[in-house]
Structure 1
Amino acid sequence: MKKFLFLALAALTLGSYTACADNDRPISVDQLPQKAQQFIKQHFPKEKIAFAKQERDFMEITYEVVFTSSSKVEFTKDGNWKEVDCKYSTVPVAIIPAQIKNYVSQHYPDTSVVQIDRDKRDYEVKLTNGLELTFDLKFNLIDIDD
């Protein structure tokens, strides 16, 4: 009986914690980290911002900015870009690391990058032809997905 009560209490506690973990709240652009604000001004100067929000997942805080063109940028808590997704346009060339830019232009000259995502392990790049390329942190191609 004690085991059952302990398991029930543990499940209830975990359920309550999980319910509180997904905590998104709208914010104004000036509440973004300074680095994120500068990134937007530099790479998306003509875009109008539809909304910005802060996302809290367990111990991680991230920020998301969505433009009226449906493009979006996700930032880490420090204001470094995490993902740039340009649904109806292309990712600004200055954002793409030179090694990835060179690889794409050499192997897929008629395509452009529409999404780039980076994390602690790799870079994922989506091209206009639908291919998704994955590079390690040393910019070696490690996967191609269509």
Structure 2
Amino acid sequence: MRSNLKLTIGLIAGILFSLSANAQKTVIAKEALPANAQTFLKSHFGTKKPSYIIEDKELLSTEYKVQYNKTIEIEFDKKGNWKEVDGKGSKIPTSIIPKKIISYVKSNFSKEKITKIEIEKSGYETKLTNGLELKFNMKGDFLKVDN
């Protein structure tokens, strides 16, 4: 009985390892991004050219990463919907951030800028220049400071 369990666990681990080994990262052109991602980039970054764009294909998912210089990295899902914009400590474009979140940060952290925003199922998570992480619901209402 115990050897069957070990064998089953070993087989599952082997399958998972081989599936993850099939992950493929490819540098692609801006035009190869899904339409939503292209529209997002044009709206918020205009004609600025990315340093590189990577398509990260795994067995069950595809993601895209767009890098501008060394300061801005944007992640998109397979449909081209943005998931995260990271300024690597630098301010990100406010056009990306919901107005209610911008207003909250200006009112409560007037000297700080938003350097990262991530959209999750439950809402938004932002990071400020002082390192604080703030959580908001999908409507942009402040929920809590996250550590």
Rate the CA distance shift 1:39–1:101 in 2: closer, same or farther, 3 A.
Answer: same
Distance 1:81 1:6 in 2: 38
Distance 2:15 2:93 in 1: 45
Mapping for residues 48-59 of structure 1, pairs under 5 Å: 48-59=49-60
Which residue is 2:88 aligned to? 87
**Equivalent AA in structure 2 for residue 36 of structure 1:** A
Unmatched runs of 5 consecutive residues or more in structure 1: none
Structure 2: which 5+ runs fail to align?
A: none
Aligned partner of 2:15 among 7, 13, 16: 13
TM-score for both structures, normalised by structure 2:
0.85
Tell me if structure 1 keeps the 8 A contact 2:124–2:136.
Answer: yes
Alignment correspondent of 1:105: 106
Q: CA RMSD in A?
A: 2.1
> How much identity, in percent, do the aligned residues show?
37
SS at match of 2:26: strand
Inter-partner Cα distance in structure 2 for 1:73 and 1:139 = 20
Q: 8 Å contact 2:71–2:90 — kept in the other structure?
A: no
Instruction: State the Cα distance separating 1:104 from its structure 2 match.
Output: 0.6
Number of the residue aligned with 1:47 = 48
Query: Is the Cα–Cα contact under 8 Å of residues 24 and 56 in structure 1 kept in the other structure?
Result: yes
Query: Structure 2 CA distance, aligned partners of 1:40 and 1:133?
Result: 25
More strand by share: 1
Mapped to 2, the partners of 1:111 and 1:48 lie a distance apart of 27
Following TM superposition, where does structure 1 have runs of at least 4 consecutive aligned residues deviating by more than 4 angstroms?
A: 4-7
The aligned residue for residue 116 of structure 1 is 117
Structure-2 residue corresponding to 1:62: 63
- Is the Cα–Cα contact under 8 Å of residues 47 and 69 in structure 1 kept in the other structure? no
Distance 1:35 1:127 in 2: 27
Paired residue total? 145
CA offsets 1:3-28 (integer angstroms, 9 cap, x no match) = 254444333223212322x3222111
Tell me the amino acid that sits aligned with residue 141 of structure 1.
F
Shift of 1:58: 4.2
Task: Report the alpha carbon displacement of residue 49 of structure 1 after superposing the two structures with TM.
Answer: 1.1
Shift of 1:107: 0.6
What's the secondary structure of 1:49's corresponding residue?
coil
Q: What do residues 90-124 of structure 1 show as CA deviations (whole Å, max 9, x unaligned)?
A: 22111111111111111111111111110212201
Other-structure match for 2:79: 78
